[in-house]
Amino acid sequence: MKQLNKTENIIFLLGAVLMVAGSAANLFVQVWAPYVYSVGALAFSLMQFRQGYDGKNFTIRRLRNMMIMSDVFFLVTAVMMFENMYNFLKLDYMTYIRYVHNNWVVTLLVAAILQLYTTHRISHELDKEAKKL
């Protein structure tokens, strides 16, 4: 995997902190929370996109695709937070309650579980690959 430089690593970590702060603040219905989470999710996802893998290991490539899918879920969570706060799609009340109201938590949970799994497995596979060399 391509290593991030110092600046990219700082952006990556700052994005993760902003995501945690934004999602925690959203639980307390703060109007600024979706903005903070969105900036963090965008920074976090962009840095993970920059961290590519050029090797030939199929398992790592598959896990990398799963990691990108989790980044997409993080970004979908940001959109759902805005929809939860402002209802910009102008959905009727029952549709809003059924499909939108606080369902950003579900997409965030899916993204976090995928992220934890892929991070652990990729590091394990990279260690196995390094031992072969």
Measured distance CA(101)–CA(109) in Å, rounded: 15
Measured distance CA(127)–CA(115) in Å, rounded: 18
Which distant-in-sequence residues (6+ apart) come within 8 Å of 3 by Cβ? Answer: 51
Confidence of residue 92 (pLDDT cuts 50, 70, 90): confident
97-125 pLDDT tens trace: 888 888 899 999 999 999 999 999 999 99
The pLDDT of residue 1 is above 80: no
**Residue 74 confidence (pLDDT):** 98
31-70 pLDDT tens trace: 999 999 999 999 999 999 999 888 888 999 999 999 999 9
What are the tokens at 76? 């979908």
Closest CA to 32 of 91, 90, 67, 81: 81
Closest CA to 50 of 114, 13, 108, 5: 5
Q: What is the model's pTM? A: 0.90
